[in-house]
Amino acid sequence: MCNFSNDEDRFGYIVDTPEIRGLVEETQRLMREIESDAERVEALQPAFAKLLGADGWLPEQYGSPDLESGMGGGIGQYALYRSEDGSLCLFSLVIPAGASTPVHDHLAWGLIGVYRGEQAETIYERMDDGVDEAHADLRVSKELHVKRGEFYALLPPTDDIHYVTTVSEGASVSIHLLANDTACVWRHKFEPEQGTVAAFRSGYSNAACPPEQAEAHSGLT
């Protein structure tokens, strides 16, 4: 059975299930005990795979598109857990069939895996030094086809810039475990063909961002 906190709650367990609590508590333990981001990500993989393989823990409304999403294209981004200090979040990302995310970064280590449907992921490497805040020179470094239960790691600056397209007949749902408050921090959105980059904050479909984060987008490179 799922226990819901109010969607207006900003932090903590927005969706409270044993599966989510198990992953979050294991992540918090490893964050205390392991200093290396790469080692944390490696140690988290069994718990993350267990969540992706379990059925029935994700409420239907958090696996549905959102026509008013800040990501555009009907893409829903639903907070499931957010730590109050901004050090950890867990969310679902729902991409309608045939839709794609913008090319974007995350600025945090973590794991992303497919819970429903199938996705094509295109990963970029940034070739410039980032001195020009409006310019980015990207090249495709790899392409992945990700199915239910499969996942990949983010370890910035490696493999942190990508876009994702749903290639299944129905919407895809991916689960993101990241070491920041991803939808509320100011990140980067890229236009690879034009070589441009801009400040980007997607926002959650079901939870508000703190007012102070709405203005804190200076210093992005």
Domains and their CATH numbers in the chain: 7-204 (2.60.120.10)
User: Is residue 122 very low, low, confident or very high in pLDDT (cuts 50, 70, 90)?
Assistant: very high
Backbone angles phi, psi at 205, to 5 degrees: -80, -20
**Which among 29, 186, 4 is positioned nearest to 79, based on CA atoms?**
4
| pTM reported for the whole predicted model | 0.91
Q: Which long-range contacts (CB under 8 A, 24 or more apart) does 44-49 make?
A: 44/111, 44/177, 45/111, 45/151, 47/22, 47/23, 48/23, 48/111, 48/113, 48/151, 48/175, 48/177, 49/113, 49/149, 49/151
Contacts (Cβ under 8 Å, ≥6 apart) of 188: 104, 105, 136, 161, 197, 198, 199, 200, 220
Mean pLDDT of 154-158: 92
Q: What's the average model confidence in pLDDT over 19-33? A: 98
Amino acid occupying residue 101: T
Q: What is the pLDDT of residues 28-84, one digit of tens each?
A: 999 999 999 999 999 999 999 999 999 999 999 999 999 888 788 899 999 999 999
Distance CA 122, CA 182 (A): 19
